[in-house]
Amino acid sequence: MPRHEIYQRFDALKQQAKIGLYAPANTQMIDNIYSACLSTLGVLSRENLRSSVQNKRYFVFTDGTKFSRAINADLYNPDYSNWLQLQDAMKTNTIESIDVDALSRILYTMAISFCACIDLINKADRQTPGSFFGYFVAYFFAWRVGVEPQTSIQILSMDDEHTRLPTDYIFNLGPKQRKFHVPVKLSTRERAIMLWAHQKLLDGVYGIDRFMGTPVLLTETKTDIPKKEVSEICLPDQWKLYQLYVAKLKRIYYLDIPAPYEKLNQDFPPLIVKPFSDFFQEWSTLTPS
């Protein structure tokens, strides 16, 4: 059986990503993938889920036997022309002209469409959606800040015991300029402490306030297909303790932001959780402390 078209196009992006994520070629690769996803999903039916998430409606795509993960009905808008509009805005550097809610819908639709397709093509493949989401976020982030990310850093060598540490995406804008530490995950669930732990490690190696931790996450939904139910797994009280006792994160961005985390914005300790679309407006005003 030939590898499914969407996998073939993903393979091409994966190859390109080895060369660089901040390149016009990536726009074409991501466009190819998104077009194929829209065609694949466009012919499928939708089935609404019972949602235990307040004020959010979710559905799944199905071919009759297989089902995708949950998709936020209010954020999902598979209008290809919106992505063309975003491409134009990126070319002319006028992304601020796009309403942030509209931008949220474009980014969410593109990311979740790929995940939904893989769910339907090969449910057992838990790795590819996460890899795609990493390239996807790094592509937009790299475009916005104008530098290639790196995925390892030099470690101070004393007895030659270490040389480099593999990291999440690091965007270094240059000497005395902003440096972003950007873990990218589909969800965190009970593993969220890893975001703070990696920040703590960078703080330890390079000093506090050197890197701004700004993770980007897709969603915290959990889909129960047999029960046709969707829920959100959120542990806001634990997040507060991580922010107090492990390390400080500057922002946590979501494509489908969970309300219990958004509420942390008004709470102590300071912990700002926002839609990823906000990053494109505020990135140049963020400071480490």
Q: How far is Cα 153 from Cα 168, in angstroms, rounded to an integer? A: 10
Should residue 161 be labelled a site residue for its own copies when binding is judged by CB under 8 A?
yes
Should residue 246 be labelled a site residue for its own copies when binding is judged by CB under 8 A?
yes
Site for its own copies in 261-280 (CB under 8 A): 267-268
Shortest reach from residue 196's CB to its own copies, in Å? 7
Which of residues 57 and 240 has its CB atom nearest to its own copies in the complex? 240
Cβ neighbours of residue 103 closer than 8 Å, sequence gap 6 or more: 86, 95, 277, 280
What does the per-residue mask of binding to its own copies show for 96-135, with x meaning CB under 8 A?
----------------------------------------
Residue in 2, 42, 64, 166 binding its own copies, rule: CB under 8 A: 166
Shortest reach from residue 259's CB to its own copies, in Å? 18
Should residue 25 be labelled a site residue for its own copies when binding is judged by CB under 8 A?
no
Shortest reach from residue 164's CB to its own copies, in Å? 9
Shortest reach from residue 199's CB to its own copies, in Å? 10
Find the part of the chain contacting its own copies (CB under 8 A) among 114-122, 142-150, 223-231, 242-250. Answer: 242-250
Site for its own copies in 188-227 (CB under 8 A): 191, 193-194, 196-198, 200-201, 204-205
Instruction: Give the up-direction half-sphere exposure of residue 235: CA atoms within 13 A in the CB hemisphere.
Output: 12
Which of residues 203 and 256 has its CB atom nearest to its own copies in the complex? 203
Binding site for its own copies (CB under 8 A): 155, 159, 161-162, 165-166, 191, 193-194, 196-198, 200-201, 204-205, 237-238, 240-242, 244-246, 267-268
